[in-house]
Homo-oligomer: A and B are copies of this chain.
Amino acid sequence: MKAKVHITLKSGVLDPQGRAIGAALAQLGFTGIGEVRQGKVIEIDLEETDRARAREAVEAMCRTLLANPVIETYAIDLS
């Protein structure tokens, strides 16, 4: 089973990387650009074949290592 974890900054949290990308795009001449935000995707190959147990394991990974719950939210996609 494959898990895709999408990690994004909570709305309201300042995203300097996103700001830098937005500024660079404007400098390159791109117009009509509003807010830019950057997040992460982590793809994990899992041996687990049970969906519920896989989700539980990946939730635990997010809480303990992958995401910072103070400023980030995460979403898990299993396939």
Contacts and interface: CB of A to CB of B under 8 A. Distances in A.
Copy count, this protein chain? 2
A34 B34 CA distance: 38
Interface string A38-66: 11111111111000000001001100111
A34 B39 contact: no
Q: Which of A8, A28, A39: most chain B CB closer than 10 A?
A: A39
A40 to B, nearest CB: 6
Interface string A17-44: 0100110110010111111111111111
Given A18-B42, A66-B21, A32 B61 contact: no
Contacts of A60: 30
